[in-house]
Amino acid sequence: MEKSRIRTYFSAVGLCYFAFSVVTLAAQMVILFLLRAAGNPSLGTTASMALSMASMYLAGFPVCLFLLRKIPKCPVSERDRIRPMSAGQLALCLLISVGVMEAGNLIGNGLMAVTSLILGRQVENTVVSMVLDGDLIPVILFSAVLAPIFEELMFRKLLIDRIRMFGDRTAILVSGVMFGLIHGNFYQFFYACGLGMIFAYVYLRTGAVKNTIGLHMVINLLGGVVGAVLLKWISAGGGTYL
């Protein structure tokens, strides 16, 4: 394929995800405007999470899906044939994912610490604040159930099925970088990018998005929910908070 056609193709794919971001933001603004007009100027943490999820998955995702379906899937060649992974291999991928998540988290936090010093003020990690301040059950539902399902559909199945003809390395890189970028902050970018590449490899290898959804759920449960529980427990002086 000529370079100009490749650029056009990737631009079309990128436009689908740009539309997702625009529609999501627009939906949030409209809902907030209506709430304020109805006399609700502010939302609690759980309500804010619900608003974010609803905007992404009930507004942005359908638009992205509609546009992506206009781009044909790439045929799977003999070279790209799927090979199931054993439970042990998936467990190894999970261990690697935990290491990548921790390394990426250190890089992101380090970068933002330097940024805070330069700016002379603390750059808040809004995701951590939301998880810590939110109720446990909604946090589990949003971060460990809904997010892995929709994100794996968007950034593994729907995306990779349309770009794998450019090679596995390209598909893995694009999937990881786009997954990192969609998080919208440097606290999450590095570990999300690394995890996205691992999940992309697993999807390319197995052809089963359920595997990456499962890995994603466990990672979010460990990194988000369990971490939040421990931090809340520590901040409560070791007492109960549930």
Give 167-174 contacts, CB < 8 A, sequence gap 24+: 168/80, 168/201, 168/204, 171/200, 171/204, 172/197, 172/200, 172/201, 172/204, 173/197, 174/10
pTM score of the predicted model: 0.90
Averaged pLDDT in 10-residue chunks for the chain of 242 residues: 87 97 96 88 82 94 97 74 89 97 94 91 79 79 94 98 94 97 92 98 95 97 77 63 46
- Burial class of residue 19, CB neighbours in 10 A (0-12, 13-18, 19+): middle
Q: Give the model's pLDDT for residue 130.
A: 75
How far is Cα 192 from Cα 148, in angstroms, rounded to an integer? 12
How far is Cα 132 from Cα 179, in angstroms, rounded to an integer? 23
Q: Considering only CA atoms, which of 212, 224, 218 is closest in space to residue 105? A: 224
How far is Cα 121 from Cα 111, in angstroms, rounded to an integer? 14
Query: Position of tokens 């529609």?
Result: 23
Q: Give the model's pLDDT for residue 188.
A: 92
Task: Locate 158 and state its tokens.
Answer: 């729907």
**Straight-line distance from the first to the last Cα atom of the chain, in angstroms, rounded to the nearest whole number:** 57
Q: Give the model's pLDDT for residue 152.
A: 98
Q: Give the model's pLDDT for residue 225.
A: 73
How far is Cα 198 from Cα 144, in angstroms, rounded to an integer? 18
